[in-house]
Amino acid sequence: MDNFVRPLLVVLLQVRIYLQDRADLALSLLLPIAIFALMYGAFGETQFHGTAHVVNDDPRGNHSALLIDRLEEVDGLDVQLHSASDADSKLDRADLLMVLYIPEGFSGNLTSGEQARLVFRQRGNGGDEGQIVAGIVRGVAEEMAQEFQVRSQVSEALAGSGMDQTHIDVTVQGFLERERENPTVTVGEDIVGGSPDLVNKFLPSIVTMFVLFAITLTARTLVEERKKGTLERLLTTRLSVGQLFVGKFLVNLSRGFIQALILLGLSYAVFQMFTPLSFIESLVLAVIFIAAVSSMGLIIGSVARTEDQATWIAIFFTMAMVMLGGTFFEIPESGVLNVLSKMSINTYANDAFETIIAEGGTLADVGLQMVVMAGVAVVGLVLGRILFKVMPGGR
Amino acid sequence: MSEPFLVAQDLHKSFNEHKAVDGISFTIYKGEMFGLLGPNGAGKTTTIRILSTVLEPDRGDVTIGGYSVRHKSDAVRRLIGVCPQELALYEELSALDNLVFFGRMVGLDGRDARAQAEAHLELMGLAERAKGRVDKFSGGMKRRVNLAVSLMGHPELLFLDEPTAGIDPQSRNNIYETIAGLRGEGMTILYTTHYMEEADRLCDRVAIMDGGQIIAMDTPRELRGQIGPPDQVTLEDVFLRLTGRSLRDMKT
């Protein structure tokens, strides 16, 4: 019975200490909220919003004007007109990455049946926003070209029929407008899992990086105990080192879980990006990952002799795992970096969270990742215990 | 003489090349108050850390209440209480919370832990500040809490490592009286101190350590008698004669 009670008493003690330090308490609870606020600011806009930078060298042409009108009608797209010299200099200075040029004679060529050509000038690939804007412009231009062909063919077919050309034009125009407003072919999105929200691309990495802070916190709890002298005193009581480890492990697991719960809960409430099941599955993943990270913190706490040592060793491991885990950049499918990434617990955590959050998968799809993380948790606890014994002054 | 309660045999402990404890042997009898004296770096604290199961000796063994610290350390820990030289308290918590927590750690249930904690704080003159945060206490009050914690569970053998170091006379007197009271109750105590007159008055026997070895061990009176008439020399005279007058600022 005492085997269970003593670790819980260590947990309760740590919680009481934690509650005594109001600043620590506030910071640790505010941190996930602050991260969420940043996330909301960065990714909260669910719809694309961009600007098409246009140089219109065909200012009197009715088709160029129509093209600009059509672009302005696109949801989330603003059109900003520039003079050619202004656009060129901004492109040179990289103030703009992509500009649409409507050349002189664009409308005249269309009217006369010749090929009319739009030109994009861009720096490099034009940037993510530029590429999206270019795709929208292409779609609008193709739609206009098709409408123009319909008008031409109808006029050609009815030539000589005696029908009034104006009547033909009005009738065709009415047909085309109805088609645009209520198209024959529509494209819908049927989400079968996960969330279509842009935030789901980044939430997994943010959650895993945030949870990794637990390495430092866990390592420090053990070293702080040593610094206070209470560690040695505890070692003269009936509390075993194993019970102490379990207590410290549970404390940090609980703290990490509360923080992850706040972060994921706010994401659920604000972005509506979870189903109840996927939310629970994400929390389960978070618990396993925090367990792995906490046990790694215990390894560091067993080795470090000062709080500074603990902090810097933990920061080194955190940064290495974040880098190798693909948080900041894509890990290639093969090669040395890919092999190294397999040694980062973050890789497995990121994969698992992406599968659940972004791809609508279930825990059954992330069995391997869960086994690896749980394995790290168990091995970390055992290794931490061994290191605690073999380090100078250990028992 | 009563039965041996602590028997240390040929204890050795080194840290890198430094021999902190170099082959010491001694016995403490049940109910005895045994003083371990020595200059800084003599090996007193390392010896206490070995006896209290925190450190494993490189060689030799100790039995406490018949249990080996090497092989039956769990059983040994049920018998001992340790008041370390440095404060070892959760200063963010109250004195009462500290005592109750460590009481639970030595195996008391919640009710007994609280009852003993209140009694020990009363004994230490801290009943009125029981619920005050330790980090708001004076150095002397912290020392008293430190000692009170070591009494939780009524250990059969108490290690007191310089419990009166660097505190005000009133607190020192309180601790002194408490230790005298414990001795009167028959508790077995191993006591280290730099205050020779305390050791002289309180201890049944003392051992003087230097360089990791015990260089003298006897009753205070017998030790005083080794250098002159026992009533005319002090234990400090004996100590200085045996350990020399050179300063000991070595790394401990």
Confidence class for position A326, pLDDT limits 50, 70, 90: confident
Question: Which of the four pLDDT bands, split at 50, 70 and 90, describes residue A127?
Answer: confident
**pLDDT number for residue B251:** 47
Find the residue in A nearest to B79 (Cα): A237
Q: A24, A235, A237, A240: which to substitute to probe chain B, counting the most B Cβ within 10 Å?
A: A237
SS3 state at B198 = helix
Closest CA to A297 of A321, A276, A324, A323: A321
Q: What is the pLDDT of residue A144?
A: 86
The more confidently predicted of residues A299 and B170 is: A299
Res A20: pLDDT: 86
> Which residues in chain A are contacts of B149 at CB distance < 8 A?
233
- Quick check: B252 pLDDT over 50? no
Is-contact A70 A140, C-beta < 8 A?
yes
Quick check: A238 and B86 CB within 8 A?
no
The pLDDT value recorded for residue A213 is 83
A229/B90 Cβ within 8 A: no
Residue B24 CA, distance from chain mean position: 17
Strands (E) in B150-243, as ranges, are 157-161, 188-192, 205-210, 213-218
Q: What is the pLDDT of residue A47?
A: 62
* CB-CB neighbors (< 8 A) of B80 in chain A: 236
| Both structure tokens of A313 | 């060793």
Residue with structure tokens 């200063």?
A: B91
- In sequence order, what are the residues at sequence separation of 6 or more whose Cβ sits closer than 8 angstroms to the Cβ of residue A75? A47
To the nearest whole Å, the CA of A12 is away from the closest chain B CA by 10
pLDDT in tens, A30-71: 888 888 888 777 776 656 678 999 999 998 888 899 999 999
pLDDT for the residue numbered A325:
84
Residue A196's pLDDT is 59
Q: Of the CATH numbers 3.40.50.300, 3.40.50.10800, 3.90.550.10, 3.90.850.10, which one belongs to the domain with range B1-76+203-252?
A: 3.40.50.300
Looking at residue A1, what is its pLDDT? 64
Tokens 């305390």 map to which residue?
B198
pLDDT (mean) for A354-371:
91
A21-35, A74-88, A232-246, B45-59: the lowest-pLDDT one: A21-35
Separation CA A304–CA A307 (nearest Å): 7
User: Does the pLDDT at position A388 exceed 70?
Assistant: yes
Strand-pairing partners, residue B218, are: B206
Q: Tell whether B176 lies on the interface with A, counting CB pairs under 8 A.
A: no
Specify the pLDDT at position A197. 63
Q: Which residue of B has its CA nearest to A18?
A: B92
Residues contacting B12, CB < 8 A, separation 6+: B19, B21, B22, B23, B57, B58, B59, B60
Q: What percent of chain B has pLDDT over 90?
A: 73
Is the per-residue pLDDT at A248 higher than 60? Answer: yes
Residues of B in contact with A239 (CB under 8 A): 105
List, for residues B131-174, the tens digit of each pLDDT value: 999 999 999 999 999 999 999 999 999 999 999 888 888 888 88
Using an 8 Å CB-CB cutoff, list residues of chain A that contact chain B: 2, 5-6, 9, 13, 16-17, 20-21, 228-230, 232-240, 392-393, 395
Q: In this structure, what token pair is assigned to residue B122?
A: 């009363």
pLDDT at residue number B114: 97
Residue A32: its pLDDT value, please? Answer: 83
Mean pLDDT over A156-167 rounds to 82
Which residue of chain B comes nearest to A232, CA vs CA?
Answer: B54
Contacts of A380 (CB under 8 A, 6+ apart): A292, A294, A295, A296, A298, A299
Rounded to two decimals, the ipTM of the complex is 0.90
Which one-letter DSSP state was computed for residue A306? Answer: S
All residues of chain A having their beta carbon less than 8 Å from the beta carbon of residue B69 are none
Shortest CB distance from B92 goes to which of A21, A229, A237? A21
Cα separation, A265 vs A245, in Å, equals: 29
Residue with the larger pLDDT of the pair A30 and B69: B69
CB pairs under 8 A between A and B: 69
Q: Above 80 in pLDDT, residue A393? A: no
User: What is the CATH code for A50-181?
Assistant: 3.40.190
Q: Please name the residue of chain B whose CA is at the shortest distance from the CA of residue A1.
A: B107
Tell whether B102 is within 8 A of chain A (Cβ): yes
Residue range A120-143: average pLDDT?
89
Tell whether pTM > 0.80: no
Q: What is the domain partition of chain A in residue ranges?
A: 2-44+197-390, 50-181
Q: How far is CA B229 from CA A342, B197, B217, B218, B235, in A?
A: 78, 17, 18, 16, 12
Domain boundaries, chain B: 1-76+203-252
Secondary structure string (H, E, C) spanning A103-136: CCCHHHHHHCCCCCCCEEEECCCCHHHHHHHHHH
